[in-house]
Amino acid sequence: MVRKFDLIIRILIKRIEKLPRKLREFLDSLLDFILVSRLWSEIQIRRAFNKSTHPLSFELARETGFSKFSTDKVLTERLIEFALRVKKQYLTGSTEKGNSKEYLRQIWDLSNLNEESKFVLEWAVETSNLKAISKYFGGKTPLLHEVSVFYSPESDANSNKNWEGSQLFHMDGGGTQCVKLWLLCQDVEDEHGPTVVVSASQSERIAKQIKYSPGSRIDSDHKLSQIEKLETHKLTGKRGSWFATDTDRSFHYGSRTSEKSSRLVIMFHYVDNNSSYYVPILSRHYRRQLKPLPIIAKEVALGSRFAFESLKYRLKVKRL
Instruction: Give yes or no for a contact between 260 and 154, defined as CB atoms under 8 angstroms apart.
Output: yes
Domain that holds residue 108: 2-315
- Given this model, what pLDDT does residue 8 score? 76
**For position 1, what pLDDT does the model report?**
59
Q: Which of 303, 27, 312, 309 is nearest to 141 (CA)?
A: 309
- pLDDT confidence tier of residue 5, bands split at 50, 70 and 90: low
Average pLDDT of span 96-120: 91
**Is there a domain that residue 46 lies in?**
yes
Buried b (16+ CB within 10 A) or exposed e, 35-56: beebeebbeebbebbeebeeeb
Residue 157: what pLDDT?
55
Sign for the pseudo-dihedral over CA of 27, 33, 36, 40: positive
Backbone dihedral angles phi then psi of residue 56, each to the nearest 5 degrees:
-70, 135
For residue 160, what pLDDT is reported?
Answer: 55
Tell me if 189 is assigned to some domain. Answer: yes
Task: State the Cα–Cα distance between residues 133 and 127, nearest whole angstrom.
Answer: 10
CATH number at residue 111: 2.60.120.620
Complete edge-to-edge strand list for the sheet that includes strand 232-234: 232-234, 196-198, 252-253
**Contact predicate 122/303, CB 8 Å:** yes
Overall domain count for the chain: 1
Residue 320 covered by a domain = no
Q: Torsion over CA of 264, 123, 117 and 93, rounded to 10 degrees?
A: -20
b/e 127-151 (16+ beta carbons within 10 angstroms → b): bbbbbbbbbbbeebbbbbbbbbbbb
**Per the domain annotation, does 193 fall within a domain?**
yes
- Global pTM value: 0.94
Round the average pLDDT of the chain to a whole number and report it. Answer: 91
Among the listed residues 141, 177, 175, the one whose alpha carbon sits nearest the alpha carbon of residue 319: 141
Q: Which of 1-10, 95-104, 270-279, 283-292 has the highest mean pLDDT?
A: 270-279
Q: What is the mean pLDDT of residues 244-254?
A: 96
Percentage, residues of the chain above pLDDT 70: 96
Question: Residue 115 falls within a domain, yes or no?
Answer: yes
Q: What integer pLDDT is reported at residue 280 of this predicted model?
A: 84
Q: What is the pLDDT of residue 32?
A: 92
97 occurs within a structural domain: yes
Of 98-112, 116-130, 240-254, the poorest mean pLDDT is in: 98-112
Is 89 within the bounds of a domain?
Answer: yes
Q: Is residue 9 part of a domain?
A: yes
- Worst-scoring range by mean pLDDT, 3-17, 118-132, 181-195? 3-17
- Per-residue model confidence (pLDDT) at position 169: 94
